[in-house]
Amino acid sequence: MNDEKRIVRWDELADHCLRTSLWVVIEGQVFDVTTYLAEHPGGDDILLKYGGLDGTQKFLEVNHSNYARSLRNARLVGTLTSDPQPSDYIKLVKSKKQKTNVNPNRQITWEELGQHNKKDDLWMVIEGKVYDVTDFQDDHPGGPAILLGKAGDDATAAFHDANHSQSAYKQLEKLQVGVITGVRPNVSGSGSSTNFIFVIFMILAIGVGIFMFTR
């Protein structure tokens, strides 16, 4: 398998975008990470995300050690073809992943949800269900920015406020990646401190009231 001269075609690469057989492109070379998924210190999610795709930028961003590079090199399949990437390639890979990888009943914690809070990886909760809206952003009639504002968060109230139609609900179905589980962490913290100040104020007010009344 370890053959730099082997040329990997785009259609071949697309056939290896799932957990069962997972190739990633790094610096123009194709690596088979199928049996490395469980061992990867950066987790399996990120490798699955880049399965069948070019992970160069992210790989370099993370500043992988020389040790990581040596592990990687032992998994070389070949060199990616110099043919230009077909125009619908990313769409094709994403639809393959969507069809097979998604279990809409998967339990997702608030912590996991919170990690998908960026423009290129954007999830949100609506009515207890978790949706991946990364690819939907630019198609959203209400615009992408409003979705980014709810990235990795509960968007139920905002979704209701916008009075979405039945057709919007229908579109949601295709985007579901799981259901949220556990208790939502108190993100701001300011709500509870406001409540605390309010309780102290009430106790003082009642105290003053009793004092005045019994004088």
Element (DSSP H or E) covering residue 109: strand 107-109
> Percentage helix, strand, coil, to 5, in the chain?
45, 20, 35
CB atoms within 10 A of CB 85: 13
What is the rounded CA–CA span in Å between residue 30 and residue 52?
9
Query: Can residue 123 be called a binding residue for ligand HEM (CB under 6 A)?
Result: no
Query: Can residue 209 be called a binding residue for ligand HEM (CB under 6 A)?
Result: no
The torsion of the CA quartet 160, 161, 166, 170, rounded to 10 degrees, works out to -60
Which residues lie below 8 Å from residue 136, measured CB to CB, with a gap of 6+?
A: 147, 171, 175
CB atoms within 10 A of CB 94: 15
Query: Can residue 25 be called a binding residue for ligand HEM (CB under 6 A)?
Result: no
HSE of 7 in the Cβ direction (CA atoms, 13 Å)?
Answer: 5
What character string, x for contact with ligand HEM (CB under 6 A) and - otherwise, covers 48-87? --x----x--xx--x-xx-xx--xx--x------------
Query: Can residue 177 be called a binding residue for ligand HEM (CB under 6 A)?
Result: no
Query: Can residue 155 be called a binding residue for ligand HEM (CB under 6 A)?
Result: yes
Of 158, 176, 179, 181, the residue at the interface with ligand HEM (CB under 6 A) is: 158
Q: Judged by CB, which is closer to ligand HEM: 132, or 205? A: 132
Q: Judged by CB, which is closer to ligand HEM: 34, or 109? A: 34
Query: Can residue 179 be called a binding residue for ligand HEM (CB under 6 A)?
Result: no
Contacting residues toward ligand HEM, per CB under 6 A: 24, 26, 31, 33, 36, 40-42, 46-47, 50, 55, 58-59, 62, 64-65, 67-68, 71-72, 75, 124, 131, 133, 140-142, 146-147, 150, 155, 158-159, 162, 164-165, 167-168, 171-172
